[in-house]
Amino acid sequence: MDFQIGDKVVHWSYGPGEVIQVDEKNLGGRTAIYYVVQVRDLTLWVPVDQGEKHSLRSPTSADQFEALFDILRGLGEVLADDRYERKSQLTERLRDGKLESVCRVIRDLSFYSSKKKLNDNDAMILERARKFLLDEWKIAFRISSVDAQRELDRLLEEGRQKAIH
């Protein structure tokens, strides 16, 4: 097993949480061992044996976060003008569950929103990605939500200024 009870983890879809138990369950005639992970008010059972498709990882360290800052302050990639194509593009980017992908989506949607109004789906994706990133950011640097948000906004503004010049 990779994680122990009490370990902080990040679920690729739900964000940071803590392993609160390791449990054996029999589902559909198959017995398997699960991590029981508490993420905010949600309890998840994540199979221990998922091989390459493991949906849990250790939180990103402060040192690793520094490399992500370059993505956030970088020039955004162009997103499709067609809302269905853009939704597909963004969903595909987020599918791998990597924080680098989350940062790229935030950067690109933030840049896009400076040129055009976001539709409801774009706004929802951006809000979810920001929350995911900021929840982990607070853990890595042991800072408040307000400070993490302020720093994220500053980095994104640096990227917008690069695009103007």
8-57: CATH, from 3.10.20, 2.60.290, 3.40.50, 2.40.10:
2.40.10
> Rounded distance, CA 135 to CA 10, Å?
10
Could you report the per-residue pLDDT of 26-59, keeping only the tens digit for each?
888 889 999 999 999 999 999 988 644 568 889 9
Domain limits, the chain: 8-57, 62-164
CATH level 3 topology of 62-164: Methane Monooxygenase Hydroxylase; Chain G, domain 1 (1.20.58)
pLDDT tens string 59-117? 999 999 988 999 999 988 999 999 999 999 999 999 887 899 999 999 999 999 988 99
Q: How far apart are CA 103 and CA 90, in angstroms?
A: 11
Fill in the amino acid letter for 158.
E
Amino acid making up residue 34: Y
